[in-house]
Amino acid sequence: MEERFIVIYHIIGDKSTALEKAKVICLEQTVEVGDELVLDGFIRDQVIGELEDFFAITNGIYEAHISYAIDTTAYELTQLLNIIFGNTSIKAGIRVHRLNLGAGILSQFSGPRFGIAGLRKIVNVYDKPLLCTALKPMGKSAILLAEFAYQFALNGVDVIKDDHGLTNQPFCPFEERVKACVEAVATANQKTGKHCIYVPNITAPTTDIMGRVYFAKKEGVGGLLIAPGLTGFDTMRSLSENNEINLPLISHPAFLGSMVTNPNNGFSHAALFGQLQRLAGADASIFPNYGGRFGFSKKECQSIAESCKEKMGHYFPMFPTPGGGMSLENIPDMLTLYGNDVIFLIGGALYSRSADLGDNVRYFLSLVGRDTLRDTRQCVST
Amino acid sequence: MEERFIVIYHIIGDKSTALEKAKVICLEQTVEVGDELVLDGFIRDQVIGELEDFFAITNGIYEAHISYAIDTTAYELTQLLNIIFGNTSIKAGIRVHRLNLGAGILSQFSGPRFGIAGLRKIVNVYDKPLLCTALKPMGKSAILLAEFAYQFALNGVDVIKDDHGLTNQPFCPFEERVKACVEAVATANQKTGKHCIYVPNITAPTTDIMGRVYFAKKEGVGGLLIAPGLTGFDTMRSLSENNEINLPLISHPAFLGSMVTNPNNGFSHAALFGQLQRLAGADASIFPNYGGRFGFSKKECQSIAESCKEKMGHYFPMFPTPGGGMSLENIPDMLTLYGNDVIFLIGGALYSRSADLGDNVRYFLSLVGRDTLRDTRQCVST
């Protein structure tokens, strides 16, 4: 047991306080006893966290690089998260800034199964941003949502997902919705020759998830939406690594917000919406865009996008998927920030711009330089 | 669809800002579209959240009572959590203070399977606090941990749990540990006539949990430890409601801390460590005690303890289980605060007081007025 990985924490306090906190993390995240009880040579030398580096990054904030033996994670995502931040999450003034996991950890997981290139191949759109929208509002019947899906697919949306609050409500049962939406999108695709996908929300009770996933797979969905804050990150990981399922996963941030809204606790935006999501197998990570109805800054969004695409072992890059009260007017600025490898998740604005959903979609596509002749490679038999 | 449940939020801001935030929550947690798009009568009348009450509780903090139709939860714990705080978790200045779930929601879940009375019956200790300790530190072999377990059980500990960082590490594999510790505790129980239980940590990857649970059940463990922050709350719920498993569940707070450490976001201590844990079927809820190495106040701990035991539909009360760097000197004060219906989780202090673990345990038991003649009802055949 020699290989180690590093977690970079940002710690609030004066130098001696922050240093003491860093030393306590080394114990708290592993042996959970005071240093005086660490008598065993193996435990002292290998099991406890080790402070590898410690320095000020600004007045009152210190950066601590703490390494842990990879064996302490038991090569389980649940236990890896526990080592990174389990008990320390309960302490004030400590934030996970970044993970440097190394080959020893990264090789134990698969990362995104499709990633940016794989998802582009499925929807057959290259070199331009993808457009995703959500079926809403909750309360509409499966048939009415499928009609929206048809209009969206017919006019060029690439990814049509359930609103993340749609699960299996009596007024819109899961199986009825999946059947209707798959059929609606397939019918539209036949007319357009495009490859729009329908992505149902399979966030569900532990004992129901696999049933819904297999039903959706059998019906022919093009991907799955999951909120790991509700199901646990490892449930997403297990779906990603399941060869029978073999579908792209889009991750939703519901219930995860408390992990980023306090700048002195939780995770950095990049670690939570970039690194952790990718580690757990998301092909696209939804996060609130700057300037929308959530409070993320442009810089925070940029850090997420970079984390989605940066070098991370053998893992495919995943799509940053900003959404959340985005206005169509912001598109030029967003194009500058995110580049082409992005999925724009536009929900309400596609419904509200005008009563003509199709026109709204076409208007959006024009804003990102998309038209069917330019951005879709026609399938040619060779 | 008429029955509704209520979530009480605390919202930061001046009156008009807080009121506007409350109105936005009604939409954000349900339909996720602007009010102008809620045209459908059914959706307006029933699906969207409804602000039932709104008033100042102190300068700059307002309390909003928002009701939701029970059908919006699809009667799933995952979706219930999503309705309560899914997207709103990402917004600053909004905290879930309390849940008033009502019979329509509570009747959909079972709550604690054993609760305080059931767990007391298993360990055969009545009318006094229970003593729980943790097997640690990580890095010890299964055999050495089982020796600790034997000493603890022999001297009167009621509940011996794995440290929550012990999962299936190469240096202490799960099955080896469970076998050794079950045997050690059974041997001690034979000598003492007591009913100490061993509670292994079954927090694990989604695809491994049930295998570990069934192995532990087969070996004869007395309960299961789970960290719902790592597995998702619904995984605990599913174990609690599983008749084949039929074991008490002890919930650990790892990875949940960010949901309480920011007073202006997340959940109140009582809602997170009391109401949610009980809803999800915990029989005992571990939380950091005041005065230990975490920052919870005495008042916060009291609110958790009250929430563990207050009237909550037909649910059994569950054991508040304060732990985390507790010193033996605090016991008298804790007895005053928590009363008799409490599990004291004492880890490090039982190891560090002296090298004689048995003496440490007996000293603790004397502090809470426990002796074997007084607190154990002998089994008498009738």
Residue of B12 and A369 predicted with greater confidence = B12
Specify the pLDDT at position B380.
40
Residues 6+ apart with CB under 8 A from A122: A114, A195, A197, A222, A223, A248
- Dihedral of alpha carbons A83, A88, A90, A96, sign: negative
Provide the CATH number for the domain formed by A115-375 in this structure.
Answer: 3.20.20.110
Which site among B73, B80, B84, B87 would you substitute to test the A interface, given the most A Cβ atoms closer than 10 Å to its Cβ? B87
- Of B2 and A27, the structure prediction assigns the larger pLDDT to A27
Cα angle vertex A148, ends A214, A152, to 5°? 90
Per CB-CB distance under 8 Å, the chain B contacts of A206 are 206, 232, 234-235, 237-238
How far does the CA of residue A32 sit from the closest CA of chain B (Å)?
7
* Cα B278 to Cα B285: distance, rounded to the nearest angstrom: 8
Per-residue pLDDT of chain B (382 residues; tens, 9 = 90+): 589 999 999 999 999 999 999 999 999 999 999 888 888 899 999 999 999 999 999 989 999 999 999 999 999 999 999 999 999 999 999 999 999 999 999 999 999 999 999 999 999 999 999 999 999 999 999 999 999 999 999 999 999 999 999 999 999 999 999 999 999 999 999 999 999 999 999 999 999 999 999 999 999 999 999 999 999 999 999 999 999 999 999 999 999 999 999 999 999 999 999 999 999 999 999 999 998 888 899 999 999 999 999 999 999 999 999 998 677 788 889 999 999 999 999 998 899 889 999 999 999 999 998 975 444 444 443 3
Q: Which residue's entry shows tokens 């934030």?
A: A95
Level-2 CATH architecture, domain A4-106: 2-Layer Sandwich (3.30)
Q: Is the pLDDT of residue A382 over 70?
A: no
Question: Is the torsion defined by CA of B180, B184, B190, B194 positive or negative?
Answer: negative
Smallest Cβ–Cβ distance between A205 and the set B234, B256, B257 belongs to B234
In whole angstroms, what is the distance from residue A3 CA to residue A44 CA? 15
Cis, peptide link before residue A137, omega less than 30° from 0 = yes
Contact list in A for residue B139 (CB cut-off 8 A) is 30-31, 40, 42-43, 46-47
Please indicate whether, in this complex, the C-beta atoms of A165 and B259 are within 8 angstroms of each other: no
Residue A364: CA count within 13 A, CB half-sphere = 32
A255 to B352: CB separation less than 8 angstroms, yes or no: no
Contact A171 B1 (CB under 8 A): yes
How far is the CA of B208 from the CAs of A104, A210, A216, B31, in angstroms? Answer: 21, 14, 23, 36
Give the number of residues written for chain A: 382
> Taking the mean position of all CA atoms in its chain, how far away is CA B285?
3
Q: Which pLDDT tens digit goes with each residue over A94-118?
A: 999 999 999 999 999 999 999 999 9
Q: How far is CA B41 from the centre of its chain?
A: 40
Select from B305, B364, B330, B373 the least CA-distant residue to B132. B364
Q: Which residues of A touch B355 (CB under 8 A)?
A: none
Q: What is the ipTM of this complex?
A: 0.96
pLDDT at A380 over 50: no
Q: Return the closest-CA partner of residue A66 out of A35, A96, A33.
A: A96
Q: Which amino acid is present at B368?
A: V
What integer pLDDT is reported at residue B1 of this predicted model?
Answer: 55
Q: What is the mean pLDDT of chain A?
A: 94
Closest-approach residue (CA) in chain B for A27: B137
Residue B2: the pLDDT is 80
Cα of A138 to nearest chain B Cα, Å: 5
Nearest CA in chain A to B49: A138
Three-state SS across chain B?
CCCEEEEEEEEECCHHHHHHHHHHHHHHCCCCCCHHHCCCHHHHHHHCCEEEEEEEEECCEEEEEEEEEHHHHCCCHHHHHHHHHCCHHHCCCEEEEEEECHHHHHCCCCCCCCHHHHHHHHHCCCCCCEEEEEECCECECHHHHHHHHHHHHHCCCCEEEECCCCCCCCCCCHHHHHHHHHHHHHHHHHHHCCCCEEECECCCCCCCHHHHHHHHHHHCCCCEEECHHHHCHHHHHHHHCCCCCCCCEEECCCCCHHHCCCCCEEECHHHHHHHHHHHCCCCEEEEECCCCCCCCCHHHHHHHHHHHHCCECECCCCEEEEECCCCHHHHHHHHHHHCCCCEEECCHHHHHCCCCHHHHHHHHHHHCCCCHHHHCCCCCCC
Tell if the CB–CB gap between B33 and A351 is shorter than 8 Å: yes
Q: Which of B253, B123, B21 is nearest to A90 (CA)?
A: B253
Helix (H) or strand (E) holding A54: strand A50-58
Of residues A20 and B327, the one with the higher pLDDT is A20
Check B227 against A294: CB less than 8 A apart.
no
Helices A298-309 and A331-338 cross at an angle (nearest 10°) of 40
Tokens (6 digits) for A168 = 């299996």
What is the residue extent of each domain of chain B?
A: 4-106, 115-375
Beta strand pairing call for A4-12 and A94-100: antiparallel
| 3-state secondary structure labels for all residues of A319-331 | EEEEECCCCHHHH
Sheet holding A94-100, edge to edge: A50-58, A61-69, A4-12, A94-100, A265-267
Q: If we measure between CA atoms, which residue out of A239, A176, A133, A228 comes closest to residue B81?
A: A228
Strands B265-267 and B94-100: parallel
What share of chain A in percent tops pLDDT 90?
A: 88
Which positions in chain A touch B254 (Cβ < 8 Å)?
A: 82, 86-87, 89
Give the pair of three-digit tokens for residue A333: 């600025």
Query: What's the pLDDT tens digit per position in A151-198?
Result: 999 999 999 999 999 999 999 999 999 999 999 999 999 999 999 999
How far is it, in rounded angstroms, from Cα B335 to Cα B368? 7
Nearest CA in chain B to A287: B90
Residues 6+ apart with CB under 8 A from B96: B7, B8, B9, B84, B85, B266, B267, B268, B271
In whole angstroms, what is the distance from residue A364 CA to residue A349 CA? 10
The residue type at B264: N
Which tops the pLDDT comparison, A21 or A327?
A21
Q: Which amino acid is at B87?
A: N
Contacts of B318 (CB under 8 A, 6+ apart): B112, B115, B116, B277, B278, B282, B283, B284, B285, B308, B309
Nearest to A165 among B82, B92, B258 (CB): B82
Find the closest chain A residue to B286 by CA distance: A87
Q: Quick check: A72 and B288 CB within 8 A?
A: no
Contacts of B28 in chain A (CB under 8 A): 293
Contact between A322 and B8 under an 8 Å Cβ cutoff? The reply is no
Residues A292-316: tens digit of each pLDDT: 888 899 999 999 999 999 999 999 9
The span from the CA of A156 to the CA of A191, in Å, is: 11
Distance of CA B339 to the CA centre of its chain: 18
A266 phi and psi, to 5 degrees? 75, -145
What integer pLDDT is reported at residue B186 of this predicted model?
98
Q: Give the integer Cα–Cα distance in Å for A78 and A228.
A: 12
User: Identity (one letter) of the amino acid at B196?
Assistant: C
Per-residue pLDDT at A377 exceeds 60? no
- Average pLDDT of A68-75? 98
Which chain A residues are Cβ-neighbours of B144 within 8 angstroms?
Answer: none
* Cβ atoms of B26 and B48 closer than 8 Å: yes
Query: Is the Cα torsion angle B338, B341, B347, B349 positive or negative in sign?
Result: positive
**What is the residue-wise DSSP string for A101-162?**
-HHHHHTTS---SSHHHHHHHHHT--SS-EEEEEE--BTB-HHHHHHHHHHHHHTT-SEEEE
How many Å apart are CA A382 and CA A293, to the nearest integer? 48
C-alpha–C-alpha distance, residues A74 and B170, integer Å: 7
Residue A1's pLDDT is what? 54
**Please, how many CA atoms are within 13 Å of residue B233, restricted to the half-sphere of its CB?**
26
Euclidean distance between CA atoms A111 and A311, whole angstroms: 12
Sheet holding A224-226, edge to edge: A224-226, A249-251, A284-288, A319-323
- Closest approach of A126 to chain B, Cα-based (Å): 30
CA distance B57 to B60: 8
Nearest CB to B31: which of A139, A171, A295? A139
The pLDDT tens digits of the residues spanning A264-298 come to: 999 999 999 999 999 999 999 999 999 888 889 99
Q: Averaged over A334-355, what is the pLDDT?
A: 93
Give this prediction's pTM: 0.96
Q: How far is A163 from chain B (nearest CA, A)?
A: 8
Question: In B, which residues are within 8 Å of A77 by CB distance?
Answer: 205
Q: Which residues in chain B have Cβ-Cβ distances shorter than 8 Å to A147?
A: none
Question: How near does any CA of chain A get to the CA of B51, in Å?
Answer: 18
On whether the CB atoms of residues B56 and B15 are closer than 8 A, the answer is yes
